[in-house]
Structure 1
Amino acid sequence: MPSLSANERSTPVIQAELFMQMEQMQQELQALRNLVEQQGNTIQRMQTDQRNRYLDLDQRLQDQTQRLNALEEADPPVLLPTPTSAQRQEQQQVAQDQNRSARDAYAEAYALVPERRFDEAITAFNRFILDFPESRLVGNGYYWIGEIYMAQNRTQDAERMFDIVVRNHPDSFKVADSKYKLGLIYARYGDQRRARDMMRAIIADHPQEPAAALARAYLERQS
């Protein structure tokens, strides 16, 4: 039987090595495809979460606009001045003018939020709070700063703003919403017990507020 040359003997070895290299390359390619798919899914989830956050913020902006309009319509009427009450009417007019100026400053800050000019909005709300500390809209100003911080993932800063609304402005109609946001923040921290306690408190203390419906939905998802 004739002997094989060195080149002829190495051909099967070379073919086997090439086959193994091709198998390895296919495995590596599949691993890369899996990694790309996982990253794509992660990016899609992040985009969806961000979009939902902005949709929630936009809805709350619309609700805020309606409530602000209601506040403006509820202003006390200006009494017609009479010769016997001129000084009193003048004082009332000054107070009303100051209130209207506060609303204007608040509206200017608020208008920056739907335009996504968040840093400018924070500055404007802080200036409004400083200039009109007695305004009934101060609690709203703190609330919207907190909402902006949430959109920017500045969770601790947002928690501080919502806590200010709850503790220092109990008459603000953003109290229930602030409590709901605090509940979500506690959940983000991993403190589910505290988050559920806050949601139950919202339902008990503010049963007619939209935040109560959100709190009920949250508790149902956790059950």
Structure 2
Amino acid sequence: MLVVCLLLGGIGTAQAGFFSDDEARKKIADLQQQLSQLQGKLDEELKQRQAVDGRVSTLENQLKSQGMIDLLNQIDRINGELGKLKGQIEVMSHDVEVTQKRQRDLYADLDGRLRKLESGPSAPASPVSASPASEAPAQPAAPATPTVAPTAPAADAAAELKEYESAHALFKTGKFAQSAEAFDKFLTAYPDSRFAPNAQYWMGYAHFSQKNYKAAIADQQKLLQRYPDHQKAPDAMYNIANSQIQLADIDGARQTLRNLLTKYPLSDTAPLAKKRLTAIESLKSKN
């Protein structure tokens, strides 16, 4: 009985141990299955993450490529605009050159047409020859009524006349630069001389003959300011108008001629001024 009991007990113990091993194996199998499932999920997540990373990289590359494309497009647009501007500048430069040439031709034609309109037996050839060409140096005043102070020494009066005649002689021989300089020195030395108005006029005329029209205008304006009633005043205004024409200031010349006719209507220069004003008005209406 004892042996049987022991045998039965050993068999029960063996069966109990056997069942424990099966449960352990089952649990291990369950754990392995869960682990496999988790591994599968992890692999899936890794794949998804890799896919997302790939898409992000693709987008970044696209953005970078798009940025470069935009930059290149902007550069192309800028180059195109620069090309257009360069073309416009070239066209404008050409237009300016053509306009300047036409303007020069217009004023050259204007002067020529004015000369033709003014030509006649009583009209001088020079645009400023309204001044008497045969004027004597001492014409502004008769020797019997000199404006020099009566107390001035005879030697000073003689030197004054000599300097004036020397400057005028330079002008008559065509030495306009030397003449203008000589008249300027004369006016500095004898600002109140009876020859001062004539010296001022001939200095302006000398500058006109050198095509220094701005200086000519300034000289004649000084004469008009200091000696508005002198016989040379109308000639000075006529010289100013012709200088303005040479400077292409047609409106200014027109106004100067009108002022001349208003202020000095009975002067010897008035008919010439009227002819030139009529010619300017005629040319303006045609153009």
Superposed CA deviations along residues 161-197 of structure 1, whole A, max 9, x for unmatched, are: 1111112332432111111111122223333222222
CA drift of 1:73 comes to: 3.8
CA change 1:103–1:173 in 2 (3 A) is farther
Separation in 1, partners of 2:230, 2:158: 18
Percent identity, aligned pairs only, is 21
Q: Which of 101, 107, 114 is matched with 2:172 structurally? A: 114
Q: Which amino acid aligns with 1:75?
A: T
The match for 2:138 is 68
Q: Which of 254, 259, 275 is matched with 1:196 structurally? A: 254
Q: Which of 251, 260, 265 is matched with 1:207 structurally? A: 265
CA drift of 1:59 comes to: 7.3
Q: Is the 8 A contact 2:261 2:273 kept in 1?
A: yes
The match for 1:182 is 240
187-196 or 130-139, which deviates more: 187-196
Separation in 2, partners of 1:200, 1:96: 44
CA change 1:172–1:103 in 2 (3 A) is farther
Superposed CA deviations along residues 61-120 of structure 1, whole A, max 9, x for unmatched, are: 63422x7346234426xxxxxxxxxxxxxx835367644543332112111111112222
Separation in 2, partners of 1:94, 1:164: 26
Say whether residues 1:155 and 2:226 are aligned partners: no
Say whether residues 1:94 and 2:165 are aligned partners: no
Q: Is the 8 A contact 2:170 2:178 kept in 1?
A: yes
Superposition RMSD in Å: 3.2
TM-score, normalised relative to structure 2: 0.48
Q: Is the 8 A contact 2:140 2:198 kept in 1?
A: no
Superposed CA deviations along residues 111-154 of structure 1, whole A, max 9, x for unmatched, are: 11111122221221112111111113212212111111111111
TM-score, normalised relative to structure 1: 0.60
Map 1:160-175 onto structure 2 (within 5 A).
160-175=218-233
Separation in 1, partners of 2:245, 2:130: 22
CA change 1:174–1:69 in 2 (3 A) is closer
Q: Is the 8 A contact 2:224 2:236 kept in 1?
A: yes
CA change 1:220–1:148 in 2 (3 A) is same
Give the secondary structure class of the aligned counterpart of 1:116: coil
Q: Is the 8 A contact 2:227 2:233 kept in 1?
A: yes
CA drift of 1:199 comes to: 0.9
* Structure of higher RCO (CA pairs closer than 8 Å, 6+ residues apart): 2
Look at both structures and tell me which one has the larger radius of gyration over its CA atoms. Answer: 2
CA drift of 1:218 comes to: 0.7
Give the secondary structure class of the aligned counterpart of 1:146: helix
Give the secondary structure class of the aligned counterpart of 1:129: helix
Q: Is the 8 A contact 1:180 1:215 kept in 2?
A: yes
Q: Which of 155, 158, 182 is matched with 1:124 structurally? A: 182
Separation in 2, partners of 1:164, 1:70: 17
Gaps of 5+ in 2: 1-104, 116-123, 283-287
Q: Which amino acid aligns with 1:64?
A: E
CA change 1:92–1:151 in 2 (3 A) is closer
The match for 1:28 is none
CA drift of 1:55 comes to: 5.3
Q: Is the 8 A contact 1:110 1:121 kept in 2?
A: yes
Query: May I ask how many residue pairs the two structures share in their alignment?
Result: 161
Q: Is the 8 A contact 2:130 2:235 kept in 1?
A: no
Separation in 2, partners of 1:156, 1:64: 25
